[in-house]
Amino acid sequence: GDWHCTASWKTHSGSVWRVTWAHPEFGQVLASCSFDRTAAVWEEIVGESNDKLRGQSHWVKRTTLVDSRTSVTDVKFAPKHIGLMLATCSADGVVRIYEAPDVMNLSQWSLQHEISCKLSCSCISWNPSSSRAHSPMIAVGSDDNSPNILAKVQIYEYSENTRKYAKAEALMTVTDPVHDIAFAPNLGRSFHILAVATKDVRIFTLKPLRKELTSSGGLTKFEIHIAAQFDNHNSQVWRVSWNITGTVLASSGDDGCVRLWKANYMDNWKCTGILKGNGSPVNGSSQQGIFNASLGSANTSLQNSLNGSSAGRYFFPPLDSPRAGSRWSSHAQLLPPPPLIEHSCDADTANLQYPHPRRRCVSRPLNLLPENEGV
Amino acid sequence: MFPCPVLFLYSRFIRNTMYLDLAEHLGLIFHLLLKKPDSSCVFVVRKDQDIYIQTLRKLFNESHGIFIGLQRSEEEFAGKSRKTQLVQVSKNYRSVIRACMEDMHQAAVSARDPALHSQYSTQVSILSAMELIWNLCEILFVEAAVAGPLLLRLLDWVRLHVCDVDNMVREVLSSENPSKHELFWNLGNTQTLTEMELKWQHWHEECQRYLQDGTFASNSHMESICKILLGDENAILEKKELMTTWYHFLVTRLLYSHPTVKPMELRFYAQSSMDLFLGGESSPEPLDTILMAAFEFELHQVIKECSIALSNWWFVAHLTDLLDHCKLLQSHNLYFGSNMREFLLLEYASGLFSHYSLWQLGVDYFDHCPEYGRVYLELHIERIPLNTEQKALKVLRICEQRQMHEQVRSICKIMAMKALRNNRLGSALSWSIRAKDAAFATLISDRFLKDYCEKGCFSDLDLIDNLGPSMLLSDRLTFLGKYREFHRLYGEKRFSEAAKLLLMLMTAHIAPCSFWMTLLTDALPLLEQKEVIFSAEQTYELMRCLEDLTAGKSDKQKFQDDDVETMKVEMLRLALARNLARVIVKEGTLEGS
């Protein structure tokens, strides 16, 4: 299906930084945030049947949130199990959480929490986990540029005791400006995965430790690990986004590329694809053909192409196949291998009923990925 | 410094490697849908193009059936009969591949467009490779052919895929000493391996003697055949052009030199055959690597190489599942035996979910992934676009069958909201009832009632009339149902029943206070019937209700009441008074009737 624009309207008096959808359970609802210090909530109104035929839809503003005194840099709806809530963050470092107590009345939003992060905020992400073991949690990223080594990612957690959000963690290793942040969907894991877009792509795991009964009201302490760090973009990484199952991460950067990252089930992350801005793959091969044409082309050097990446190298141990570990090796009888005979042969020209798989493609010269070239 | 234009990636990426030492393969196929310049910011990138190929549909559907059958097959059979069962499953998978190949071949032949023809031909050869690999795996792993039958199977395997009868063999059969060769072909269960080896040795020695005696000296052709029969590699290699591949060479060589080859010996012969055949000029292609790994009984290597070489997970997912059922993965020295099976199945099934109808197959695959299947299903099923009611119902049924209550509730809520937004109150109500969403049901009932007040009639009468026990979901819904019942009774002229119900709605507080005025107004026609309907007691009740209602209003409200309101109240008072008068007379004069 084709994509076409069904609605377009000017409303904010400054750049619109972000838009986000609410869960369809609440209807067709959007929120936007802008440099003009406001955030707004929009609802799609089912218009006249004429409009439907013309493929047009109408959006009305339900509310404007004007509490911020500086540019509102991100707006995100909370996971639906929390209710109809949204969070905004501003350039002056304030995170605000609003709630609409009546889900059918989108004009009524009340400010429930105001969190002061002390650093200019650029992005927020709600933890989507609906597990009862996890309290509502929000990660905040800062793009503060002043020279300091303050942690640019903070995690706030809701405490039942104090009925407030309080800072649970700060990722001390992230000291460069953060442009985007995203919790991965939770597959029933006990720990959380957080992706950070900063000068590189970073993936953190946060394992909740036993809740300590501190005076701040039973906040969770976390064991933080960095699961992956990729500098392949070789430039600022602007956005990170997870797939449905939280198994693939997409990142985009100033190199004009989108990169896809995936972990095998040994939890080793690696790049599974590079796309240019228009969606075409970077190495340019295999554009046509449905099944991969690789069976006919020599791929061994293609396999090594990513090893050029400096950060990725850590994750790619040498390619020695573990023959010694084979369970058959201990049973092998000591038959002497037949003597090697050097023999020059002509190319085979047998004609087959079905084209032989081996004979189908000529191996192409492979374009090594410009991993370490600047963009 | 500003972020890149928003890229909307509608992609399901399921490509990855599973092993520590597995580097990345980037031969990904991306189907690019370029948009018109004015909407140039949105590019849709899709990864699993394979699932959209019509000719492969059969592959996915039928293999799904085989997969389910395998999962459900009881392991009551032990040993040999279980093995037979598994071999049959393997053969079934292969026949599906071959059927697909036939279809694809037909498509290629009938394709007019050369690009399309080449595309189909490519797919045919890939399917052929898949069948080749699967067949070998069946021989070596599923059937686990032992020495003796092993070579026979390999011969069949090579013949099947090369489609080129070994000319030399034909010649041999037609040669002077057929009987000598007959026993050679009786590599069956009738003889023990040792018997066979002895006979073969004897025959081999005879052949050798013939050669040395110069029996064939006059005929160089026969001489070279004899050499081949003796397994002379040079002689066999000379005929290289008759053999298409190194594995053809391997099997031929084994046939003439080591027909009783044992499975574990294969690896040496395979390696040297490949080396000899390729002669160091060309490097092994991925297919060669895969086959070699199979000959070396490196199961995990086979799966790994196949994952790299093939563009979708269909092959490795089904093959690995079968091998897991053969209990071959669990004893491996690495600890991800059954995990790997699940990993591959999850990847394959996830890919299916992006397809508008194949997602239903994916559901069953998730069902058979014990660790993550359910959560994957929960996450994916919520994202299926619910374009039509039928689709929504289909999805719902799947969720209900699996007690996925949260997903049921969510889907119903989404559908209810959609219906409500489009003012389809009946549909919204039935979705709320299905979701057992009391709050939403109340809301929709209120809307119904509001509509009634404004328009004077109900919409979706059928639905409300047939609510049944679901009426009890919410008080407002109960009221709606009962109120409609009142109207029905009135319409059927069952006035006294209608009257009783109406009164009950107020006295039992089923009706919200806000609605009492409407109810009392509904009572008017009943009060003004020629026949007296409300009894004296009922009339007193009605009067009390009215007074409660008016008394409840503050003075300010009364002041704000417009003339219509005041008039209504006056009319009611009058009607009630008149009814009272009539009924007193009636009850006074007619005793007990």
- pLDDT digit string (tens) for B301-312? 899 889 888 877
Of A87-101, B323-337, B338-352, B479-493, highest mean pLDDT: A87-101
Contact A290 B310 (CB under 8 A): no
C-alpha to C-alpha distance for B393 and B386, rounded to whole angstroms: 9
Predicted local confidence at residue B378, as pLDDT: 95
The pLDDT tens digits of the residues spanning A72-102 come to 999 999 999 999 999 999 999 999 999 999 9
Q: How far is A214 from chain B (nearest CA, A)?
A: 34
User: Chain B residue closest to A274 (CA)?
Assistant: B26
Predicted local confidence at residue A190, as pLDDT: 86
pLDDT confidence tier of residue A281, bands split at 50, 70 and 90: confident
Q: How many CA atoms lie within 13 A of A91 on its CB side?
A: 12
Q: Residue B4 pLDDT > 90, yes or no? A: no
Contact A338 B233 (CB under 8 A): yes
C-alpha to C-alpha distance for B14 and B16, rounded to whole angstroms: 6
Predicted local confidence at residue A137, as pLDDT: 96
Which residues does chain B have within 8 Å of residue A337's beta carbon, measured at their own beta carbons? 268, 271-272
Predicted complex ipTM exceeds 0.85: no
**Exposed, middle or buried: residue A318 (CB in 10 Å: 0-12, 13-18, 19+)?**
exposed
Which residues does chain A have within 8 Å of residue B413's beta carbon, measured at their own beta carbons? 25
Q: How many CA atoms lie within 13 A of B255 on its CB side?
A: 25
Contact A290 B49 (CB under 8 A): yes
- Residue range A300-307: mean pLDDT, rounded: 28
Q: Residue B120 pLDDT > 90, yes or no? A: no
The pLDDT tens digits of the residues spanning B230-240 come to 767 666 666 66
Predicted local confidence at residue B77, as pLDDT: 64
C-alpha to C-alpha distance for B42 and B271, rounded to whole angstroms: 51
Sheet of A29-34, strand order:
A16-21, A29-34, A39-45, A58-65
Which residues does chain B have within 8 Å of residue A365's beta carbon, measured at their own beta carbons? none
User: Chain B residue closest to A290 (CA)?
Assistant: B50
The pLDDT tens digits of the residues spanning B242-296 come to 667 888 888 888 887 888 888 999 999 999 888 887 776 777 788 889 999 999 9
Give the CA angle between residues A29, A141, A201 to the nearest 5°: 100
Predicted local confidence at residue B196, as pLDDT: 62
Contact A303 B119 (CB under 8 A): no
Contact A278 B32 (CB under 8 A): yes
Preferred mutation among B47, B125, B384 to probe A, highest tally of A CBs within 10 A:
B125
pLDDT confidence tier of residue B176, bands split at 50, 70 and 90: very low
Q: Residue B377 pLDDT > 80, yes or no? A: yes
Contact A46 B422 (CB under 8 A): yes
Predicted local confidence at residue B189, as pLDDT: 41
Contact B125 A179 (CB under 8 A): no
Give the residue with greater pLDDT, A98 vs B549: A98
- Residue range B427-434: mean pLDDT, rounded: 91
Which residues does chain A have within 8 Å of residue B316's beta carbon, measured at their own beta carbons? none
Q: Residue B12 pLDDT > 80, yes or no? A: no
Give the residue with greater pLDDT, B32 vs B157: B157
Predicted local confidence at residue B370, as pLDDT: 92
Handedness of CA A316, A321, A324, A327 (dihedral sign): positive
Which residues does chain B have within 8 Å of residue A305's beta carbon, measured at their own beta carbons? 23-24, 26
- Mean pLDDT of all residues in chain B? 79
Contact A317 B286 (CB under 8 A): no
User: Chain B residue closest to A361 (CA)?
Assistant: B122
Nearest to A341 among B24, B101, B276 (CB): B276
Q: Do residues B316 and B323 touch, judged by C-beta distance below 8 A? A: no
Q: Residue A291 pLDDT > 50, yes or no? A: no
pLDDT confidence tier of residue B508, bands split at 50, 70 and 90: confident
Q: Residue A279 pLDDT > 60, yes or no? A: yes
Contact B286 A289 (CB under 8 A): no
Which residues does chain A have within 8 Å of residue B119's beta carbon, measured at their own beta carbons? 288-290
Predicted local confidence at residue B76, as pLDDT: 62
pLDDT confidence tier of residue B42, bands split at 50, 70 and 90: confident
What lies within 8 Å, CB to CB, of B333 at 6+ separation is: A325, A327
Q: How far is A187 from chain B (nearest CA, A)?
A: 6
Contact B301 A321 (CB under 8 A): yes
Tokens of A316: 């790619």
Which residues does chain A have within 8 Å of residue B339's beta carbon, measured at their own beta carbons? 265
Give the residue with greater pLDDT, B211 vs B346: B346
C-alpha to C-alpha distance for B515 and B508, rounded to whole angstroms: 13
Which residues does chain B have within 8 Å of residue A331's beta carbon, measured at their own beta carbons? 264
Q: How far is A216 from chain B (nearest CA, A)?
A: 33
pLDDT confidence tier of residue B9, bands split at 50, 70 and 90: very low
What lies within 8 Å, CB to CB, of B205 at 6+ separation is: none
Which residues does chain B have within 8 Å of residue A320's beta carbon, measured at their own beta carbons? 21
Across B441-467, b (16+ Cβ under 10 Å) vs e yields bbbbbbbbbebbeeeeebebeebbeeb
Predicted local confidence at residue A307, as pLDDT: 26
C-alpha to C-alpha distance for A237 and A259, rounded to whole angstroms: 10
First to last CA, chain B: 92
Q: Residue B117 pLDDT > 80, yes or no? A: yes
Predicted local confidence at residue A329, as pLDDT: 24
The pLDDT tens digits of the residues spanning B394-408 come to 999 999 999 999 999
pLDDT confidence tier of residue B471, bands split at 50, 70 and 90: confident
Of A218-222, B174-178, B230-234, highest mean pLDDT: A218-222
- Residue range A301-330: mean pLDDT, rounded: 26
pLDDT confidence tier of residue A372, bands split at 50, 70 and 90: very low
Which residues does chain B have within 8 Å of residue A298's beta carbon, measured at their own beta carbons? 283, 285-286
Q: Do residues A22 and A62 touch, judged by C-beta distance below 8 A? A: no
Nearest to A279 among B12, B32, B49 (CB): B32
Q: Residue A38 pLDDT > 70, yes or no? A: yes
Rounded CA Rg of chain B: 40
Predicted local confidence at residue A243, as pLDDT: 94
Predicted local confidence at residue B66, as pLDDT: 96
Contact B13 A239 (CB under 8 A): no
Q: Residue B187 pLDDT > 70, yes or no? A: no
**Closest of B414, B236, B57 to residue A25, by C-alpha:** B414
Across B526-560, b (16+ Cβ under 10 Å) vs e yields bbeeeebbbbbebbebbbebbeebbeeeeeeeeee
Q: How far is A215 from chain B (nearest CA, A)?
A: 35
Q: How far is A92 from chain B (nearest CA, A)?
A: 19
Q: Do residues A375 and A256 touch, judged by C-beta distance below 8 A? A: yes
Preferred mutation among B28, B261, B410 to probe A, highest tally of A CBs within 10 A:
B28
Give the residue with greater pLDDT, A78 vs B522: A78
User: Chain A residue closest to B120 (CA)?
Assistant: A289
Q: Residue B564 pLDDT > 70, yes or no? A: yes
pLDDT confidence tier of residue B69, bands split at 50, 70 and 90: very high
Predicted local confidence at residue B561, as pLDDT: 65
Contact B25 A271 (CB under 8 A): no
Tally of CB atoms within 10 A around A229: 18
Q: Nearest 5°: phi and psi at B166?
A: -60, 105
What lies within 8 Å, CB to CB, of A264 at 6+ separation is: A270, B16, B17, B18, B19, B22, B343
The pLDDT tens digits of the residues spanning A322-370 come to 323 222 222 222 333 333 322 222 223 232 234 444 433 333 333 333 3
DSSP B250-296: HHHHHHHH-TT--GGGHHHHHHHHHHHHHTTTSPPPHHHHHHHHHHT
